[in-house]
Amino acid sequence: MEHKVKDLRSALELLQTMPGQLVETHREVDPHAELAGVYRYVGAGGTVQRPTQEGPAMLFHTIKGHPGAKVAIGVLASRKRVAALLGSRPEDLGKLLYHSVEKPIPPVTVQGEAPCQQVVHRAKDPDFDLYKLVPAPTNTPDDAGPYITLGMCYATHPETGAHDVTIHRLCIQGKDELSIFFTPGARHIGAMAEAAERLGKPLPISISIGVDPAIEIGSCFEPPTTPLGYDELSVAGALRGEPVELCPCVTISERAIANAEYVIEGEVLPHVRVKEDQNSHTGYAMPEFPGYTGPASDQCWLIKVKAVTHRRDLIMQTCIGPSEEHVSMAGIPTEASIYHKPQTIEEMVYHLAAKLVEPFGIAAKEYRRWNGM
């Protein structure tokens, strides 16, 4: 019987049926530098010398300081796993994503109790503390702090009403504060935060952690393939053939992914910037996907957290760099974007070919024949 993947839990269940694709351990592991260190050798993924290698995903069942929580890592650190999780063949992933962008299925809002809100912690509660609530790993001793590396940030443009999901570097800065790094001009939610700041308003934002892998892959598209105003949750909907379900947040005017493991609700504050390593003073941020540990930014925006909600028997999901996980998340959407371009570039090449050397013209004609044109 076909195994339907709809969230992180069903994704892990599928990997359990695939020999060599998931390693589980019940031995206690410290999220501060130890968890990533173990995965470095078992998963052959992050914080290792290039070239990175494929290895199994890991599920840590016992996290020091976080009773009852688990941490999954490396879920997408293999093209074979990504293909299985998306119901495709490895060689077809680029085309699959391209066609999903072409035929998006927008998300829908559902009412009633969402799985991600089975347990609710509000920032006004006296014992509220992000450090204790979220088992975010500190991947190396030089990291600025505990990082949320697979948080699906969802927000709405304050002027246009367009909404979108993207992944950003998030570091815990205090019991109710997160820093968020916006690469200038590269992400839609950065533009939304800038618009809200011009209006002198905070930007409500939800951060969903531990979701359907289709959402994680789809969220990594960038302009011009998915311009500002295009909600990448629609790509995930197309990949699954049904809309992603969102639920209203409990403390802010925004929505979150209903079947996420965790959701952090908050507001991006206008006119506030913080230094990423203001607590650790290491001078560094975290291991990045290009293969280096980048410097701590002094221009991170600040999120004031209003609540953390989560499922029972919760599972944190994380990734570390450099790793094959980044190759999957950044590379496969890029393949889809490149696959799209020749549909127009090829026409230009073909018409120019007759004016150039004959061998080039033959090549263009053969390319058309290969594409059934």
| pLDDT per residue as tens digits for the range 153-172 | 999 999 999 999 999 999 99
Residue 348: which domain range?
Answer: 343-373
Residues 223 and 314 in one domain: yes
> Model confidence over 234-259: pLDDT tens digits?
999 999 999 999 999 999 999 999 99
My answer on whether 326 and 351 are in the same domain is no
Residue 370 confidence class, pLDDT cut points 50, 70, 90: very low
pTM to 2 decimal places: 0.89
Q: pLDDT tens digits, residue range 277-315? A: 999 999 999 987 766 788 999 999 999 999 999 999 999
Say whether both 216 and 348 belong to one domain: no
Q: Is residue 369 part of a domain?
A: yes
Reply yes or no on whether the pLDDT at 353 is more than 60.
no
Report the residue count for the chain.
Answer: 373
- Over 80: is that where the pLDDT of 22 sits? yes
Judge contact between 191 and 135, C-beta under 8 A. no
Residues 265 and 128 in one domain: yes
pLDDT of residue 341: 60
CA-to-CA distance for 230 and 41, rounded, in angstroms?
39
Q: Can you tell me the distance from the alpha carbon of 84 to that of 100, in angstroms, rounded to the nearest whole number? A: 17
Is 282 inside a domain boundary?
Answer: yes
For the chain, how many structural domains are there in total? Answer: 2
Whether residues 85 and 184 fall in one domain: yes
Are residues 251 and 367 located together in one domain of the fold? Answer: no
* CATH number for the domain that contains residue 125: 2.30.110.10
How many CB atoms are located within 10 Å of the residue 283 CB? 12
Angle subtended by helix axes 79-86 and 324-340, to nearest 10:
60
| Statement to judge: residues 367 and 227 lie in one domain | no
Q: CB neighbours of 355 closer than 8 A, spacing ≥ 6?
A: none
Give yes or no: residues 23 and 170 share one domain: yes
Q: Give yes or no: residues 265 and 360 share one domain.
A: no
* Token pair 């796993």 in the structure block, residue: 81
Asked whether the bond before 322 is cis by omega within 30 degrees of 0, the reply is yes
Q: Looking at the structure, do residues 91 and 234 belong to the same domain, yes or no?
A: yes
Catalytic residues: 288
Indicate if 209 and 351 belong to the same structural domain.
no
Distance CA 178, CA 276 (A): 9
Whole-number average pLDDT of the chain:
88
Q: Is residue 2 part of a domain?
A: no
Q: What's the pLDDT tens digit per position in 261-275?
A: 999 999 999 999 999
